[in-house]
Amino acid sequence: SQQGEEDPQALSIQEGENATMNCSYKTSINNLQWYRQNSGRGLVHLILIRSNEREKHSGRLRVTLDTSKKSSSLLITASRAADTASYFCATDRGTSYGKLTFGQGTILTVHP
């Protein structure tokens, strides 16, 4: 698989449930970022976690990073219909001026 691969590819849940998306990568990184994209729209930055961090929180979002397993997870708690979107992880290897390598993304559908 390539740098920044998310799973599952698609996730369908009910409002109020938690959603967990995973991202795996191949090479060492400087940081990993999660983005949201609503259909046909731009990318919204959610959270950045650096290679020396293990967990970060932002509102209903919780991101973990395990550099030994080269993986990250994004947890959205108490999901809402408005969370329906595609979620991407993107890795910065730190070898250039912030070039990001994106995964294929997870399509999250939250049913009201």
Partner 1 sequence: EPEVTQTPSHQVTQMGQEVILRCVPISNHLYFYWYRQILGQKVEFLVSFYNNEISEKSEIFDDQFSVERPDGSNFTLKIRSTKLEDSAMYFCASSALGDTQYFGPGTRLTVL
User: Which distant-in-sequence residues (6+ apart) come within 8 Å of 53 by Cβ?
Assistant: 65
Give the C-alpha separation, 103 to 71, whole Å: 12
Q: Would you count residue 111 as binding partner 1 (CB under 8 A)?
A: no
Question: By C-alpha distance, which of 93, 89, 92 is closest to 103?
Answer: 89
Q: Would you count residue 10 as binding partner 1 (CB under 8 A)?
A: no
Q: Would you count residue 31 as binding partner 1 (CB under 8 A)?
A: yes
Candidate list 76, 79, 85, 105; residue touching partner 1; CB under 8 A: 105
Q: Rule CB under 8 A: which residues touch partner 1?
A: 30-31, 33, 35, 40-45, 48, 88, 90, 92, 96-105
